[in-house]
Amino acid sequence: DEKQEVSIQAAEQYLADAVNGAICELLGAYYEACDQAVYADRKGRKEEGLTLVRHGDRRHVETAFGPVEFHRDYYRRANGSYCYPADEIAGIRSCMRMSDESAKKLVEAAVKMPYWKANEYAMGGRFTAQTVMNKVRLAKPEGEEECEEKRKVACLHVDADEDHVSLRGGKNTIVPLISV
């Protein structure tokens, strides 16, 4: 018998992938079970005015643990609008492709490094740098409150001037100076 050596890093990565995969499968199974419960509760659906339109639509959402996939049913409400009750239970919005926690991780990483590297670091390269940039632009800084009312000033003073600056090599350039 030969002893097979496994490094701690390889073991950690293997176990992390296995656990994350199991979490994604459990989440998908949970949301499918919630959807099946809504489908099985005919009386409750009738009280809420839900009528089944389609059965088994696929949903894919990227989470911090990996991709979560599940199937759910599409219903028409009594008021004429449509919904996926499983999405509402999961807190998934209609255009949502990644969880809010994933977006938060991407933004936190993007503060410290380039977008492509933040994607690799936080989400294992599952998104594009463009997606990271979009999430950064949508993010609101913590603790920042919106101004309740904007101040209006009677007079705004703007001074604009220029200065000639000598550069190395004997060249000169003009630098604009503006103060508000």
Could you tell me the two tokens for 125? 């390269």
pLDDT in tens, 6-44: 889 989 989 999 999 999 999 999 999 999 999 999 999
Phi, psi of 30 (to 5 degrees): -65, -45
User: What's the whole-number mean pLDDT along residues 146-158?
Assistant: 81
Distance of CA 95 to the CA centre of its chain: 11
List the helix and strand counts (H, then E) for the chain: 6, 5
C-alpha 42/C-alpha 173 separation (Å) is: 78
User: What's the whole-number mean pLDDT along residues 46-68?
Assistant: 91
pLDDT band of 163, cuts 50, 70, 90: confident
